[in-house]
Each structure stands twice: as C-alpha cells, then as structure tokens.
Amino acid sequence: MPHLDSLFNAFITILVTIDPPGLAPLFLALTGGMNRAERLQVSIRASVIGFGVLALFALAGAAILKAFGITLPAFRVAGGLLLFYIAAEMIFEQRNERKEKSASAAVTKDRIRDIAAFPLAIPLIAGPGAISATVLLSSKMPGIAGQAALLAIILLCLILTYCVFLLAERIDGLLGMTGRSILTRLLGVILAALAVQFVADGIKALALS
C-alpha cells in the first residue's frame, strides 16, 4: 500500500488538474436553459465518463506509452512540464479563458446535444493535464494495491467534482469573481510545485538509466 504522503500528493495533483471550482461557472454556462433534473443528468454522465477516461489511463497508461516507445521517465519530464504550463495558466488566469473558448465553441457546434461527453467530460474534466498526472502517478503507484488506491483517488475527485456541479449555482455566487481568482491562483501555485517535483524525479530517473 502506498505511503499516506504519496496518496495525499496524488489526490491533490488530480484534484488540482481537474479544478472543480473552475468548472462550476462553465457547467452553469453549458447547461444554461436546462432545468434541475436535466442538469443532474448532465453532471452524472459527465462525471462517469471523466472517471472512465482517467481510469483507463491509470490502468493502461504505461502500456500505451510502451506501444509508442516512450519511457516513463521521459513522460514524467514531459508531463511535469505540461502540468507546470497549466499551473502558470492558472496563476495568470489564462486557463479559464481557454476553457471558456472551448466550451462556447462546442456549444455552438453541437447545440448542447451531448455536452456531458464533450466538452464537459473531455476535455474540461479529463483534459491533458489530468491525463498526464494520472499516467505519472500510476508509474509511482505500482502493483494491485497502488492501482486500486489510485482508482479510489480518481473516484473521490470525480465525486467531489459531481458535488461541485450540484452546488454550482451556490458556489459561484459564494466565491464571486474575487474568490474564484484567489482560489485558482492558490491551486496553481500548488500544482506548479508538484510539477517541478515530477520533472526533477524524471530527470533523476533518466540520469540513472
């Protein structure tokens, strides 16, 4: 069983890359005009699809990398750099702007036909950052116990995301623009530190290989 610190770091990493508070206003925008029951269906389906995508990469991420001839240390460095870029976007408030553009474009194209799958589940919940973090963490949590713990962490993060969707209207009103800005930047700083650690571990592993 992974150490408690590793489990906590994994939880924080995945939760920050998914960024449930940042998804709350986008969820409201995407489900505009829907009643409470319809929003409930969208939130359930999006959470289930998001979990399925991240679970797939948690269990088969290493095999997917091997098929492309990519080593885990190399992916760890690349993934860490990607996470750092996402963290920088969060700190300078560029990530929400990018998400909003993706969301609005998808709504125009699909006319809210299946927003639970796209863009809510992919790429807003299970985006490149969350997928990269999941693959990186799966390499650091090997074995049946490690994989089970990682799946449990992903499930917990998606349950929290689902809860945020249910409380989106209240959370958005409670935080306000200032609150969302402060929270996003704080989470960005935490993610940046975790990303640097990923890069350092990857470089160390490459040096030893």
Cα gap 136→65, rounded to integer Å: 11
> In which domain, by residue range, is 29 found?
4-204
Nearest CA to 53 out of 141, 4, 124 is that of 124
Is 19 inside any structural domain? yes
Peptide bond into 123 cis (omega under 30): yes
Q: Tell me whether residue 147 is in a domain.
A: yes
Residue 45 within any structural domain of the chain: yes
Question: pLDDT digit of tens for each residue in the chain (209 aa)?
Answer: 678 888 999 999 999 999 898 888 778 877 766 778 888 888 999 999 999 999 999 999 888 888 989 887 888 888 888 878 878 887 887 655 556 655 555 544 444 447 788 878 987 899 878 988 999 999 889 889 999 999 999 999 999 999 999 998 777 677 777 887 787 788 788 878 888 888 898 899 889 87
Residue 10 domain flag: yes
Cα–Cα distances in angstroms (integers) from residue 102 to residues 87, 106, 109, 169, 201, in the given order:
18, 6, 11, 21, 32
Asked, for residue 77, whether it belongs to a domain, the answer is yes
Task: Tell me, yes or no, whether 209 lies in a domain.
Answer: no
Counting the structural domains of the chain, the total is 1
pTM: 0.75
Residue 50 covered by a domain: yes
Residue 17 lies inside a defined structural domain of this protein = yes
